[in-house]
Chain A
Amino acid sequence: MNETYEPVVVTFCCNWCSYAGADAAGTAKVQYPSNVHIVRVMCSGMLHPNIVIDALSKGADGVLVCGCHPGDCHYQEGNLKAEKRGEAIGLILEDLGLEPERFRLEWVSASEGTRFARIATEMVETLRELGPNPFRS
């Protein structure tokens, strides 16, 4: 495996809970790897599976989607819809020959800064073990 390989992670966080949770990691100065880059969306249920697939087929090593815990979604059930789409994304990954671990869906509340940092760290570690996305040019 490439020694200098640094995984690139695209993270989509919903505005109401998870983005605030990632902010809370900052406020508490909980450290996590700098490979994780957050894109803010209003709800995890806003994210079209194509956006995730696109990111992976363009060479992102992993995509992490974070939403509110079930029951906490600002729009009621956007997160549950995201969960269903997550299953579909898993199937497409299989078709593309990508490992299922390259996509991860997690619930993070606004106060769970430590949890966000832990998930981010785990994701990067997993991707380090998997090695670079074969679609990376």
Chain B
Amino acid sequence: MKGSVLVIGAGISGMRATAELVQEGFKVFLLEQRPTIGGTMAQLDKMYPTNECATCTLLPKMLELTSNENVTLLAFSELKEVTGADGGFKVRLEKKVRYVDPTKCNACTECFPVCPVGAVPMEFNFGRGASKAIRFWSPFPPRKALIDPEACTYIREGKCGEGTEPLCAEACEPDAIDFSQKPAEVEIEVGSIILAAGAKEERGEPLARLGHGRLDNVLTSLEYERLLSGLGPTGGVVKRDDETVPHRVAWIVTEDFDSGGRPRSPTAFMSATSEALGTLERDAGAEAIVISGGPKLEGRGYEAFWNDARERGVQFTTASAAEVTQGPDGALVVSCQGGDRDEIEADMVVLSPPLVASKSMTDLAERLGIGLDDHGLPATPDAHPLKTTRKGVYLCGIAQGSKGIRESVIDACAAAAASAARLAGVRGTEITSPSPPELLPVTADDEAKTAVMICRCGANIAGVLDIQELADYVGTLPHVARVEITPFGCDGVKIKELLGSGEYNRLLVGACSPRTHEPLFQMYTEAGGLNRYLIEIVNLRNQCTWVHAHDKEGVARKARTLMRMGAARVALQEPLTGLSIPVTQSCLVIGGTPAGIACAAELGEMGYATYLAIAEDEPGAGLDANATRLLAPHLESMRESGNVTVYPRATIGQVQGFVGNYTAEVVTEGGSNQVEVGTIVIATRDKMGRPGGEEDYEHALYLTRDDDGFFVGALGNLNPLDFNTDGVFMCGSARDDTSAAWSMVSGEAAASRAAAIISHGEMAESPVVSCVVDENCDGCAYCIEPCPAHAITLIEYMKGKEIKKTVEANEALCKGCGSCMATCPKEGIFVHHFRPDHLRAMVDALLEVA
């Protein structure tokens, strides 16, 4: 058996399966046919139902993967052949020719302006926008140039501009251009394969009838997403082919015309709604109308999103669009049947077709040795929606069927769990762990020498602010030793360069939000040799340029003020290291639902001690025939692995602790059992607390429910199974109403989430915890009661002949909320990284006149 996995397709589902597997101790080869990663999600602007920006959400994940030493990214490559069997596949791949050596290219772009061949249509933008013959394929990683052989005149005719020598090669300092490059074969061995090759918008007859490819200004949804995207060909301003801005845009959800009885896909209606909303966000006076067979609102939060869209002015009409024609004035006319209007005029028409198997799936399936179903998608004969016809080859994302990002992420986690369970015996055999970086010794007494990086964030920041002027100002601030500007700070290149010199002991970054980018920037900071708490991020984008775009003077003044505040704070920051706490490598699963059973079985198979607390007499009791058949393999594996302890007719008593170290009381007829676990999975919506019990576990774990009784999880499309409380996850009926099969899949997915934590014997705790100042604390004990973590105790000791009092804070229990700090009348306790002097320094800097 091999402790590595091949993931085919680097869209969100392939990326997520990869991320889960490396956390669980497996090496991953991530194969992508395109030159850059991200798949469909990378082409989206905003996402339903959260209205999050797809790029902001995805980019940090891309960067985490491309910088992970246990992920081998094989972009612009293709699968040739798979031999061997489950547990030990031999895979042959081919790297396609890019005419640039990616190991040498440093993305400096010096070659782009010298290339004489322009106007090469960008495939990533469906032909809109133009590039040179040498270019980046998209704005996403890996950022390595490549040459389009169809466009390059040197490749076609041996000529470049006026001469016969390639100008790009001349301009390329690292000598990365290589016209003699040949396709390279790669052979790898893996234990299992995850197929995440995605799907495509349907093309063909229905779209052609509605004018696509025939009339100007008739686009598909994904093409329209590129116009909405700030990284797209029009910089986020929707424009018609003649460069004018449309004021009336109509969406036609074309899948309503499918008479083949195929279920309508949830993505088409929702993406149309999301794009219509995005259009109104840009131009509140625009007219945005969605023509469909009726709202399709199957997922949690979809209805609220749709209602919000209606409230904000998106119109919806239930009708079928028969035809799109162009009137004499150039306007498009949609002829409708069954609605309240026979004709709808529009400046632009967007067609939202269903997602269907891409053409290349047939070829891929053949090479993989798997069967396809009637729709051309991988067949899943075992009733398990993610198991293909070949053992050891799992499926996830829209390659399985049309679905949204949240559902794709759940699939990906489930596919990762299946691999991790199957390969449990060889977990950890193929990975290398990073050696801890060599850190610059910095003490609180050292004078701060701050390096500053200001990020243009494309045009997001630099389009509104005069960056050079800001940089010049920042250079005059106390402790600031150097200021640099970068196009995209999140690629880590500039930080590496700044810190590489070893001259600076603080880093100030003016960029996007620390909420999304702090972990990434902290990682770069540490890689650059500075403790991760010596960086401060100033939110120039979300809280400055994006929200004061029309106030030129105000935005510049505020940017200076924010940078001044950041500079004052970072100078006071101290290097911090958290405790490394032991993790109990086991899990408690609450609920005998299909999700609960699947989760426990999967964890048992992975080799972790698992406790399954159920209300029923035995696992599987009370399930209908379909669910019983579906879960038979899990019930069997649960018995076989011997790692799952089942508590029937159980209730949950007191639960205490924190991620990695929970203690839970499971009460059965036989008595009370204390289980020690690292993680907890909530797999049911039913209340399983002890009737009349003192403290309910939901309360103890800070879990909340919505009006329908479902649990409320962490925010964001990419966190469908996580709670805000670390180490606690949800699946099955705890999160939504779904069929037994998908409930089971979400249980398997939750197993992966739990395994990501308990596969390690210890975890690093945050050092952002409280600390008692001995000189100031007089033991008044005011802080004890407000502490939600019960982390503070009063202690008495003898000093000389006197009894002294003080408090002690338990670092492992402390959550860093700062209730103690805000209560203490004498500044006798504070939270690291949020010290009162940090806050005061920022306020003082703010009040200073610029």
Taking Cβ atoms with an 8 Å cutoff, the residues of A that contact B are 8, 10, 12, 15-16, 19-20, 22-35, 37-43, 45-51, 54-55, 58-60, 71-72, 74-78, 81-82, 85, 110-111, 117
Of A32, A45, A85, the contact of B547 (CB 8 Å cutoff): A32
Measured between alpha carbons, how far is A46 from B832 in the docked complex, in Å?
12
Interface check B843, CB cutoff 8 A? yes
Can you name the residue of chain A whose Cβ is closest to the Cβ of B56? Answer: A27
List, in ascending order, chain B residues with CB within 8 A of A22's CB.
Answer: 542-543
Interchain CB contact under 8 A, B817 and A42 = yes
Interface check B366, CB cutoff 8 A? no
Interface check B53, CB cutoff 8 A? yes
List, in ascending order, chain B residues with CB within 8 A of A117's CB.
Answer: 547
Query: Smallest Cβ distance from B820 to chain A, in angstroms?
Result: 9
Of B516, B547, B831, B843, the contact of A46 (CB 8 Å cutoff): B831
Most buried by B among A28, A34, A35, A49: A34
Taking Cβ atoms with an 8 Å cutoff, the residues of B that contact A are 46, 50-53, 56, 281, 513-516, 539, 541-544, 546-551, 554-555, 557-558, 561-562, 565, 702, 704, 715, 724, 768, 786, 788, 815-819, 821-824, 831, 834, 836, 839-840, 842-844, 846-847
Query: Smallest Cβ distance from A119 to chain B, in angstroms?
Result: 13
Interchain CB contact under 8 A, B843 and A54 = yes
Of A20, A42, A55, A59, the contact of B834 (CB 8 Å cutoff): A42
Q: List 7 A-B contacts (CB under 8 A).
A: A12-B839, A24-B51, A34-B544, A34-B555, A58-B843, A74-B817, A85-B822
Measured between alpha carbons, how far is A30 from B548 in the docked complex, in Å?
9
Interchain CB contact under 8 A, B821 and A48 = yes
Interchain CB contact under 8 A, B543 and A47 = no
Measured between alpha carbons, how far is A29 from B546 in the docked complex, in Å?
5
Measured between alpha carbons, how far is A86 from B360 in the docked complex, in Å?
62
Can you name the residue of chain B whose Cβ is closest to the Cβ of A32? Answer: B547
List, in ascending order, chain B residues with CB within 8 A of A50's CB.
Answer: 836
Interchain CB contact under 8 A, A29 and B547 = yes
Given A41-B834, A58-B847, are A28 and B281 also a contact pair (CB < 8 Å)?
Answer: yes
Can you name the residue of chain B whose Cβ is closest to the Cβ of A31? Answer: B547
Interchain CB contact under 8 A, A51 and B839 = yes
Query: Smallest Cβ distance from B782 to chain A, in angstroms?
Result: 12
Interchain CB contact under 8 A, B549 and A31 = yes
Of A28, A31, A85, the contact of B550 (CB 8 Å cutoff): A31
List, in ascending order, chain B residues with CB within 8 A of A29's CB.
Answer: 281, 546-547, 549
Measured between alpha carbons, how far is A22 from B515 in the docked complex, in Å?
11
Of B50, B281, B547, B840, the contact of A51 (CB 8 Å cutoff): B840
Measured between alpha carbons, how far is A46 from B788 in the docked complex, in Å?
12
Measured between alpha carbons, how far is A53 from B823 in the docked complex, in Å?
15
Measured between alpha carbons, how far is A54 from B846 in the docked complex, in Å?
13
Interchain CB contact under 8 A, B822 and A81 = yes
Of A27, A43, A55, A76, the contact of B53 (CB 8 Å cutoff): A27
Measured between alpha carbons, how far is A33 from B768 in the docked complex, in Å?
32
Measured between alpha carbons, how far is A77 from B822 in the docked complex, in Å?
13
Query: Smallest Cβ distance from A101 to chain B, in angstroms?
Result: 19
Most buried by A among B46, B715, B831: B715
List, in ascending order, chain A residues with CB within 8 A of B817's CB.
Answer: 42-43, 45-46, 74-75, 78
- In the complex, besides A34-B557, A51-B843, 14 extra interface pairs with C-beta distance below 8 angstroms are A20-B715, A22-B543, A23-B513, A29-B547, A38-B543, A41-B839, A42-B818, A47-B818, A47-B822, A51-B839, A55-B847, A59-B847, A111-B51, A111-B715
Query: Smallest Cβ distance from A111 to chain B, in angstroms?
Result: 7
Of B539, B544, B768, B819, the contact of A78 (CB 8 Å cutoff): B819
Measured between alpha carbons, how far is A55 from B56 in the docked complex, in Å?
34
Interchain CB contact under 8 A, A20 and B846 = no
Measured between alpha carbons, how far is A51 from B786 in the docked complex, in Å?
19
Measured between alpha carbons, how far is A48 from B828 in the docked complex, in Å?
12
List, in ascending order, chain B residues with CB within 8 A of A34's CB.
Answer: 544, 547-548, 551, 554-555, 557-558
Can you name the residue of chain B whose Cβ is closest to the Cβ of A37? Answer: B846
What are the nearest 4 A-B pairs in CB distance? A46-B818, A26-B542, A34-B554, A75-B817
Given A33-B554, A45-B822, are A111 and B56 also a contact pair (CB < 8 Å)?
Answer: no
Query: Smallest Cβ distance from B97 to chain A, in angstroms?
Result: 39
Query: Smallest Cβ distance from B554 to chain A, in angstroms?
Result: 3
Can you name the residue of chain A whose Cβ is closest to the Cβ of B712? Answer: A72
Query: Smallest Cβ distance from A62 to chain B, in angstroms?
Result: 12
Can you name the residue of chain B whose Cβ is closest to the Cβ of A17? Answer: B715
Measured between alpha carbons, how far is A16 from B514 in the docked complex, in Å?
12
Interchain CB contact under 8 A, B514 and A45 = no
Interchain CB contact under 8 A, A72 and B704 = yes
Measured between alpha carbons, how far is A42 from B814 in the docked complex, in Å?
13
List, in ascending order, chain A residues with CB within 8 A of B547's CB.
Answer: 25-26, 29-32, 34, 117
Interchain CB contact under 8 A, A54 and B840 = yes
List, in ascending order, chain B residues with CB within 8 A of A43's CB.
Answer: 817-819
List, in ascending order, chain A residues with CB within 8 A of B514's CB.
Answer: 40
List, in ascending order, chain A residues with CB within 8 A of B51's CB.
Answer: 24, 27-28, 111
Can you name the residue of chain B whose Cβ is closest to the Cβ of A71? Answer: B704
List, in ascending order, chain B residues with CB within 8 A of A31's CB.
Answer: 547-550
Interchain CB contact under 8 A, A75 and B788 = yes
Query: Smallest Cβ distance from B848 to chain A, in angstroms?
Result: 10
Query: Smallest Cβ distance from A39 to chain B, in angstroms?
Result: 5
Interchain CB contact under 8 A, A48 and B836 = yes
List, in ascending order, chain B residues with CB within 8 A of A82's CB.
Answer: 822
Measured between alpha carbons, how far is A111 from B715 in the docked complex, in Å?
9
List, in ascending order, chain A residues with CB within 8 A of B53's CB.
Answer: 27
Of A32, A39, A40, the contact of B843 (CB 8 Å cutoff): A39
List, in ascending order, chain B residues with CB within 8 A of A48's CB.
Answer: 821-822, 824, 836
